[in-house]
Amino acid sequence: MGHALLAVVAPKPMNTQAAAELDLNVLDGGTHVIVPLYHRHLDAWTEKLGLAFEHHSQIIGDTPVLQHFAKVMGLTTYSLVQTEYFGGTGTQFATVWESGVRTMPAKEGNGVINSALERIGVVPRDGKDAFDTIGLGTYRDGSVYFESYWD
């Protein structure tokens, strides 16, 4: 089975009511929250809010609408992570934002998600890496949270 996840990860707390109003789910990652994202949802909200359709990096969702979401949900520090693995082959992407400024450039490659998560305070525990410490491996397909945005 593949692993195709696009998500924001941020230290707790956050405004879960604001997330719900933006049609976003908030998953518990222990000390952090995981907010799955989906490209069609992001496009719909970009249009709804009248924001620019522009990308800040090669990571899907690294856009003005995500920065808007982060501000509304009260996230000052967060990582945007993306996985694309199918049949054991693939890659991962990550970046970190703090107070509206990118503090870790968008990167691609093995280990970049763990680096980003540790930068936002995820402490690996029990012999696991940061990715597994917060349970990202259990969320294999972020689109399942966005059925109303499927074609």
pLDDT band of residue 136 (cuts 50, 70, 90) is very high
Whole-number pLDDT of residue 74: 97
Q: Is residue 147 situated within a structural domain?
A: no
Q: Is residue 39 situated within a structural domain?
A: yes
Domain with 79 in it: 3-142
* Token code pair at residue 66: 């995500």
Whole-number pLDDT of residue 89: 78
Q: Is residue 137 situated within a structural domain?
A: yes
* Token code pair at residue 103: 């503090």
- Number of structural domains found in the chain: 1
Q: Is residue 151 situated within a structural domain?
A: no
Out of 83-92, 100-109, 125-134, least confident range: 83-92
Q: Is residue 72 situated within a structural domain?
A: yes
pLDDT band of residue 140 (cuts 50, 70, 90) is confident
pLDDT band of residue 151 (cuts 50, 70, 90) is confident
Percent of the chain with pLDDT over 70: 99
Its pTM stands at: 0.95
Whole-number pLDDT of residue 71: 97
Q: What Å distances lie between residue 120 and 15, 80, 104, CA to CA? A: 18, 11, 10
Q: What is the 3-state secondary structure (H, E, C) of 80-140?
A: EEEEEEECCEEEEEEEEEECCEEEEEEEECCCHHHHHHHHCCCCCCCCCCHHHHCCHHHCC
Whole-number pLDDT of residue 1: 57
* Token code pair at residue 136: 């990202």
